[in-house]
């Protein structure tokens, strides 16, 4: 069942930056509506919103630090290309740790090379000349990861699966392929990103929340849905 939230008035996004009263009710279509305006004649639920604390950011910073390399130059490059390609630093760090454990000279049995284990074809696509040069490798790997996230509308699981198994496999199964190696790879990286387990223990994907898409409908209402809206322009990913 498609779950859609229609956000009206001044309510934009998934969080409210200001302290205030939030009212919620169900419309005639059964959609949950959130608004900052009281609704006369409607049964509403009122909740006072409090600004978020910084605990989440503190945990995020601590988790990022735990994923970092001992090589300060590699950390500088990760930060540089995470900003350049609009990536979560934790995700980029986690991919490098899972792929090569920061060994810039790593070569896999399949021929993947360097910190982000780029295949020759992928490296060539992004103009890599020296696969063992940290900056060239991270630049190309980060750009490739950004391209995969864009391809799958911000779905991190699908992007990671494609990084590991290729886009053909992900497209064929319309999701994470049923390959043991790929599923373990995706779970391992998501666990590291979330700070749940940096040792590589598999985390069940069933506990992960769906990707949420945001768009504005023909009446100017801001809508959120966990199903990608077809034939709609200006779709944004607001939660993964």
Query: Is there a catalytic annotation at residue 136?
Result: no
CB atoms within 10 A of CB 200: 14
Q: Which residues is 25 bridged to in the sheet?
A: 33
Tell me which of 99, 135, 196, 208 is the catalytic residue. Answer: 99
Q: Give this prediction's pTM.
A: 0.59
203, 215: one domain = no
Residues 6+ apart with CB under 8 A from 52: 15
Helical pair 89-100 and 134-151, crossing angle rounded to 10 deg: 120
173, 220: one domain = no
Rg of the chain, C-alpha, whole Å: 21
33, 127: one domain = no
Domain that holds residue 232: 4-52+210-239
pLDDT by residue for the chain (240 residues), tens digit each? 444 444 434 344 444 444 445 555 555 555 555 565 565 555 444 544 444 545 555 555 666 888 999 899 999 999 999 999 999 999 999 999 999 999 999 999 999 999 999 999 999 999 999 999 999 999 999 999 999 999 999 999 999 999 999 999 999 999 999 999 999 999 999 999 988 644 444 333 333 445 676 777 777 777 777 666 667 777 777 654
223, 200: one domain = no
Task: Give how many domains the chain has, as a whole number.
Answer: 2
Handedness of CA 4, 147, 95, 187 (dihedral sign): positive
Q: Which residues is 4 bridged to in the sheet?
A: 225
């Amino acid at each position: 069942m498609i779950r859609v939230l229609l956000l009206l008035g001044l309510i934009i996004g998934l969080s409210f930056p200001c302290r205030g009263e939030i009212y919620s009710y169900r419309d005639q279509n059964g959609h949950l509506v959130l608004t900052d305006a009281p609704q006369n004649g409607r049964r509403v639920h009122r909740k006072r919103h409090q600004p978020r604390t910084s605990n989440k950011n503190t945990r995020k910073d601590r988790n990022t630090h735990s994923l970092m390399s001992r090589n300060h130059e590699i950390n500088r490059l990760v930060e540089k290309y995470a900003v350049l390609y609009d990536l979560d630093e934790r995700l980029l760090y986690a991919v490098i740790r899972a792929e090569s454990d920061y060994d810039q000279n790593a070569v896999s049995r399949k021929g993947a090379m360097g910190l982000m284990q780029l295949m020759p074809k992928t490296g060539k696509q992004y103009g890599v000349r020296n696969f063992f040069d940290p900056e060239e490798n991270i630049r190309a790997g980060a750009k490739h990861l950004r391209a995969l996230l864009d391809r799958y509308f911000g779905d991190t699981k699908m992007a990671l699966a494609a990084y590991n198994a290729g886009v053909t496999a992900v497209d064929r199964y319309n999701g994470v392929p049923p390959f043991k190696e790929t599923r373990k790879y995706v779970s391992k990286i998501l666990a590291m990103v979330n700070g749940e387990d940096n040792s590589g223990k598999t985390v069940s994907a069933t506990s992960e929340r769906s990707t949420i898409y945001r768009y504005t409908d023909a009446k100017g209402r801001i809508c959120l849905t966990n199903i990608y809206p077809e034939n709609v322009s200006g779709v944004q990913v607001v939660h993964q």
